[in-house]
Amino acid sequence: MAIFQHIILLLCLSLFCTTSLVSSHNRHYTTPTVPRLTDLFSHVSVNQSFSNVFGGPNIKILNNGSTATFALDRTSGSGLASWNKYNYGFFSAAIKLPAGLTFGVVVAFYLSNADMYPHSHDEIDIELLGNDKRIDWVLQTNVYANGVSTGREEKFYFWFNPTLQHHYYSILWNSHHIVFLVDNIPVREFPNNGKFSAAHPLKPMSLYVTIWDGSQWATHGGKYPVNYKYAPFVTSLTDVEMVGCIVNPKQPNSSCSSANVSSIDPVEGPDFVKLSNQQMSAMVWARRKLMFYSYCKDTSRFKVLPPECK
């Protein structure tokens, strides 16, 4: 009888552990109300605004260029880069992530100029990391400037299931701040003032959308590598917005093109200098409820924390 009770106890504990690892989007969240920045700008055509970077056969353009699918399989990942380079802008897309066992799969929506400045490049990253033992996708944001190799990662769980439908992922980048948004809710602000300024990207960048194998780092240093038994992993992209200062980096004195710029300046105008009270409250909500890692609290990684953390 004692052995039987012991087995029952172990089963209960196992069940508790399993349920404690279910995804955070199964919990109920009342999301804050925020302005919908994604309603302010027109969508661009994927096939007219991007070029193939790699994995061309794994990219399909659909719905007259308004939608694209990207796949990762045993042969390759895939990715696109914008034809234009920007000195600042608002960049957004609605993305639906692959479902199922997606350990090590990385879907990235980011700005970079590594092609132009391989030794001093800048990046502003939204990286969507495939699930590990929590059965959750993870949102990682990051900023690099002037080739500094120190990452400034912050990680969040979602308040929804990102594999069921498209959700908006957006980057606002101007001379005042960088803001990362999910479904128009700011989750992180990186201000261009004080000690943050040294880490603020200033050189023109392209917008990239990619899916690739991040087994070596995306899940605890390769603990959960991509399992190609479940390939192909397909992500869908639509409602792309790119608006801002278009420049020619080969002509240092070139001015911003007026092409695709809204009648209100999307990133340097007074409406985008700072977050509204509503947006600030929403960001506090997201960071309190869903952020589970910040580089500024990682004392095991940094003997001396980056200056903006102090």
191-202 pLDDT, tens digit per residue, is 999 888 888 998
How far is Cα of residue 150 from the mean position of the Cα atoms in its chain?
18
The answer to whether position 23 is within a domain reads no
Place of tokens 């979602």: 158
pTM beyond 0.85: yes
Domain count across the chain: 1
The answer to whether position 150 is within a domain reads yes
Closest to 35 in 3D by CA, of 306, 283, 300, 310: 283
Give all strands of the β-sheet with 291-294 in edge-to-edge order.
50-54, 78-82, 206-213, 105-112, 123-129, 138-144, 154-157, 291-294
The answer to whether position 303 is within a domain reads yes
The answer to whether position 234 is within a domain reads yes
Residue 125: its H or E element: strand 123-129
Place of tokens 């000690």: 195
Our answer to whether residue 241 is catalytic in this structure is no
Q: What percent of the chain has pLDDT over 90?
A: 68
Q: Are 243 and 260 in contact (CB under 8 A)?
A: yes
Q: Is 304 exposed, middle or buried (0-12, 13-18, 19+ CB in 10 A)?
A: exposed
Our answer to whether residue 189 is catalytic in this structure is no
CATH of the domain at 278: 2.60.120.200
- Report which of residues 9 and 264 the model is more confident about: 264
| Residue 65 backbone class (left: φ over 0; alpha: ψ -120 to 50; beta: rest) | left
Condensed to tens digits (0 to 9), the pLDDT of residues 258-274 reads: 444 444 466 777 889 99
The answer to whether position 100 is within a domain reads yes
Query: Which is the catalytic residue, given 127, 154, 189, 241?
Result: 127
